[in-house]
Structure formats: C-alpha cells, structure tokens
Amino acid sequence: MEFYHTTHRHYCGIDLHARSLYLCILDQQGEVLLHKEIKAQPERLLAVIEPFREDLVIGVECMHCWYWIADLCEQEGITFILGHALYMKAIHGGKTKNDRIDSFKIAMLMRGGNFPLAYVYPKAMRATRDLLRRRTRIVRHGADLKAHVVNTTSQYNLPPNKLNLKNANARRQARGLFDQPDVQRNIDLDLALLECYHQELNKLEWHLEQQARQHDPVSLNVLRSIPGIGRILALTILYEIGDIQRFDSVQKFASYARLIKCKAESAGKTYGTQGNKIGNAHLKWAFSEAAVLYLRGNERAQRYLQKLQKRMSKAKALSALAHKLGRTVYFMLRQQRVFDEQRFLKG
C-alpha cells in the first residue's frame, strides 16, 4: 500500500457519482474553504475550483466514472490522485455516512498523508483495455451458453454428444437434437447468440491486436515468445500491466498480479492469509492459464513440475509455476528480452 505524501496549498476531495459530485477543499491548516455539491460537468468543476487552482491537488475514490476527471486534470495541468477503494476504510467505516462527510474525509486523508493510491491508467491505452475486458465477459457468457446446451441434453436424458459448438458445422447439427419444439427453440436461442458472438469476437480480436501493435509492438512480441502465451493472453498481460516501469520491484508486481499470499500475523502467531482478493484478477487469470498451457506438450516443463511436486501438492506446484512465469514476464518486459526457456527451467 502506498500513500500520497506530497504537500500542497489546497486539497480537494471529491465524492464522485455519475451525475453529481460533492467536493471539499481544505487549506494546509485543515480549514474548510469550500464544501458544496455540483453537477458532474467539467465546466462546472473548473468554475468552482478556479479560486483555488494555485498548488491544488484533486483526489477521487476509484469507481467507475473517474476517467473524465483524470483527463480533465491532465488537460488543465492539475495534480490528480486516485484512491484505492479497498484501502479507504476511513470513508466506509463511519457510523454516519453521506456525500458531504465522504468528501471531507477524502480531503483530510490527502492533507494528512494517509490517502492510499491506486494507479491512474494512461488515457492512450485505457479504452482498449476496457474493450479487452468486455471481450472476456462475452467469452464467459458464451461458455455459459455452451454449458446450457450440454445440461439440457442431460435434462432430457439424451445420449451425450461430442459437438464442439465453437465450430459452425457443430452448431448446425445441434439444431436438430430435440423433438419437442419449445426445447429445440430454447437451444436455438443459445446457438444464435453463439453464432453472433463467434462473428463479432473474430473481428474484435483482430482489432485489439492491431491496437496493441500501435501501442507497444515490442512488448507484445516479447510476451508471444513464451510457449503457451497466445494472442489473447499476451494482450491481457500487456494491457493489464500498462507500463511495467510503474512497479519498483518484482515483489510489488507479483503482489499486484495476485501471485503471492500475504500472511496475517499478530503477537508472533500466524492466522492464515489475507488480502488475496486485492490486486488484478485479470493478471491472476492470465498467468494461471499461461502456466497450464506452458506445460502442454512440453516435456521439459512437465519434468520441472514433477520436481516441484516432490515438495508440494500439484495445485501448489502450478501456482508456483504461475508465480515464476509472472516474475519472468516482469524482467522480460523491463529488459525487452524474449523468453529463455533454458534459463527459466534452470532454477
């Protein structure tokens, strides 16, 4: 956890919503200079903070609509910081909670050096990252549709079929599985959505790869040099990391990617782990998938996994392999070097 320690003449805490915002501006002595609610409009915000623009910092809790304020501050040359929502417990733990109190607490956290920082993702790659995340949700919904076809087959006690619904020919065959019209109509609905997803995702994936080749082609090729990391995993790792230089150490990167577990200790006793959900879930998924795919058809890697399994269970060995892949990616991206399997399996 990192805190914002820079001192300013004015601190502006904003409790942000989709259509309105409540702002509180403090001076260095903690005196409230302004405390009011306005509409969430750039021109209204600029007009209100105009008397306090000299050495001003604006802080916002990380939620779904912070993009426009970050971009506005960058455009106007105003310091902007983003608060980590899970760490801002002073806001969510109060007995009385409203927008006025929340904005004051945000400003006080900034002034006192206790404002927990989240990463302000750069504008240039932000929209592409969101588009890639949208693709992930659609793919998972497609998997649910395929599972519904399989479950419906079991529901009506029909022999299991081996149709791979990723293929157009298999989807055509699935349109005659059931005798009852309403049941088949239920399945046809799944198949129609899958057909639409298949066409749109092909075009979307091509577009995402073209964007990545404009944003950071070198890092994309570096990631693709790892066996098992294909187009989607490489895109996910690339856009979820953003700028690898923002991580001062490999330990901080591994923590952000949820590749390590943190012990909970008190009075010399260990109470298990905590904070396992803090970090980037997309990177956790990507490295877990990469570890499994790296082993596929790779005898040297499989022997390395067996070596790990002598000291731990298979699940922990896979986690250890994912952790090692994550650490390797960190140094590969910082040094812009391709994957060296001999060095990777040496340890």
Secondary structure string (H, E, C) spanning the chain = CCEECCCCCEEEEEEECCCEEEEEEEECCCCEEEEEEEECCHHHHHHHHHHHCCCEEEEEECCCCCHHHHHHHHHHCCEEEEECCCCCHHHHCCCCCCHHHHHHHHHHHHHCCCEEEECCCCHHHHHHHHHHHHHHHHHHHHHHHHHHHHHHHHHCCCCCCCCCCCCHHHHHHHHHCCCCHHHHHHHHHHHHHHHHHHHHHHHHHHHHHHHHHHHCHHHHHHHHCCCCCCHHHHHHHHHHHCCHHHCCCHHHHHHHCCCCCEEEEECCEEEEEECCCCCCHHHHHHHHHHHHHHHCCCHHHHHHHHHHHCCCCHHHHHHHHHHHHHHHHHHHHHHCCCCCHHHHCCC
What are the domain boundaries of the chain? 3-118, 125-215, 231-265+276-344
Distance CA 167, CA 175 (A): 13
Distance CA 24, CA 34 (A): 6
Express each pLDDT in 261-312 by its tens digit.
877 777 777 776 676 778 999 999 999 999 999 999 999 999 999 999 999 9
Confidence grade of residue 34 (pLDDT, cut at 50, 70, 90): very high
**pLDDT value of residue 209:** 96
**pLDDT value of residue 266:** 73
Confidence grade of residue 63 (pLDDT, cut at 50, 70, 90): confident
**pLDDT value of residue 272:** 67
Confidence grade of residue 147 (pLDDT, cut at 50, 70, 90): very high
CATH superfamily assigned to domain 3-118: Ribonuclease H-like superfamily/Ribonuclease H (3.30.420.10)
Share of residues in the chain with pLDDT > 90 (%):
81
pTM, to two decimals: 0.89
Query: Residue 195, class by beta-carbon neighbours within 10 Å (0-12 exposed, 13-18 middle, 19+ buried)?
Result: middle
**pLDDT value of residue 90:** 67
Confidence grade of residue 344 (pLDDT, cut at 50, 70, 90): very high
Q: Say which residue the tokens 């066996």 belong to.
A: 227
Dihedral sign for Cα atoms in the order 173, 177, 181, 187: negative
Mean confidence (pLDDT) of the chain:
92
Q: pLDDT: is 161 or 238 the higher one?
A: 238
Confidence grade of residue 36 (pLDDT, cut at 50, 70, 90): very high
Whether 172 shows a pLDDT value over 70: the answer reads yes
Neighbours of 240 (CB within 10 A): 20
Task: Specify the range with the lowest mean pLDDT, choosing from 20-34, 216-230, 266-280.
Answer: 266-280
Distance CA 138, CA 201 (A): 9
Whether 17 shows a pLDDT value over 80: the answer reads yes
**pLDDT value of residue 276:** 74
How far is residue 268 from each of residues 265, 271, 273, measured CA to CA in Å?
6, 10, 14
